Amino acid sequence: MLPERRMQECLSKSSFSKSLSPGQHWKSKSMRIIPEEFLRSTHESFEHRVVFSVPWNNSWQLWLRPDKKGLFMIKEDWDEFADDNFLGPDDTLVFTHQDTMYFQVHIFKKDGKEIISAPLEVEPQKETTSASASGNTIQIETAIGRTATRGRKSCANLQNPERYLLNPQNPYFAKTLKKTNHLLHVGLPVIRQYGLEFGPHDSSMYFILPDGNKVDGLTKYYNGLPSFLGWADVCQQYNLKIGDTVVCEFELSGRVVAAVRVHFVNE
């Protein structure tokens, strides 16, 4: 698809865009506002926060604060988003509304080409054997059935993640927790590498925890890609921290993902 057509396709949905005018920079206050016309058109109440996701499955939670000029993302959160994505002066951002507080963010360069993988300067939530994903960390069961001690090793430094798997033949990916971990996203490279399939929107799945307990989840689709709701409950229950790394092992029913077994990574 031509770059210009791709951008127009994104803009044709429930969305808004941001680009710099002369004298602005990405950390200008004007860049942090949620456009009033967008708020009117969506009829949604974004009173507290929004969640931005990008095609390589990183996500950010940004808290909102109203003032007399409109509804603004707080500076600390917006600045982190801008820094993490190394936004340039000629970039155009398209924010496509997915569901309630969730947005898919498309970043287009000056030539109109969309960025679909993490910029080189960004340390993506790499999957050490296949691809990247976004999310959180947890204490977990190792391949011999013991509970591992949670560490803070990043995916970039993770060696031989296969050793954490209960079944070495199972598909998996490693992920480092970021600021926002409401959903467990599954990256397109992982899906393609393993030929994974997923249940319908809102179909049941579950997370298998280190102690053998299970947390119920739901399969969701945002911008055509699968994610698992219920991840936030896992993170809260196990007090997962930003920077922790987990290995997510897929349990399949045929080719369809039925469960995610979560393994903590040792330091």
Q: Are residues 173 and 111 in the same domain?
A: no
pLDDT of residue 116: 87
pLDDT of residue 27: 95
pLDDT of residue 155: 52
pLDDT of residue 223: 64
Residue 124 lies in a domain: no
User: Could you list the residue range(s) of the whole structural domain that residue 38 is in?
Assistant: 1-115
Domains: count for the chain: 2
Contacts of 236 (CB under 8 A, 6+ apart): none
Residue 211 lies in a domain: yes
76-to-81, 135, 140, 229 alpha-carbon distances in Å: 9, 20, 32, 26
Report the Cα 129 to chain-centroid distance in Å.
Answer: 18
> How far apart are alpha carbons 103 and 94 in whole angstroms?
10
Domain boundary among 55, 89, 115: 115
Token pair for 64? 């909102």
Q: Are residues 1 and 111 in the same domain?
A: yes
> How far apart are alpha carbons 260 and 57 in whole angstroms?
17
pLDDT of residue 157: 56
> How far apart are alpha carbons 140 and 150 in whole angstroms?
8
pLDDT of residue 131: 35
Residue 121 lies in a domain: no
Determine if the pTM surpasses 0.85.
no
* Residue 120 identity (one-letter amino acid): L
Q: In angstroms, what is the C-alpha Rg of the chain?
A: 19
pLDDT of residue 144: 26
CATH number of the domain to which 250 belongs: 2.40.330.10
Residue 155 lies in a domain: no
HEC profile of 52-118: EECCCCCEEEEEEEEECCEEEECHHHHHHHHHHCCCCCCCEEEEEEEECCEEEEEEECCCCCEECCC
Q: Are residues 19 and 78 in the same domain?
A: yes
The parts of the chain modelled with pLDDT lower than 70 are 1-13, 44-45, 47, 120-157, 179-181, 223, 266-267
pLDDT in tens, 125-180: 433 333 333 333 322 222 222 223 333 344 545 778 888 999 999 999 998 887 66
pLDDT of residue 91: 95
Residue 39 lies in a domain: yes
Q: Are residues 97 and 171 in the same domain?
A: no
Q: Are residues 24 and 105 in the same domain?
A: yes
Residue 60 lies in a domain: yes
Q: Are β-strands 214-222 and 204-208 bridged in parallel, bridged antiparallel, or unpaired?
A: antiparallel
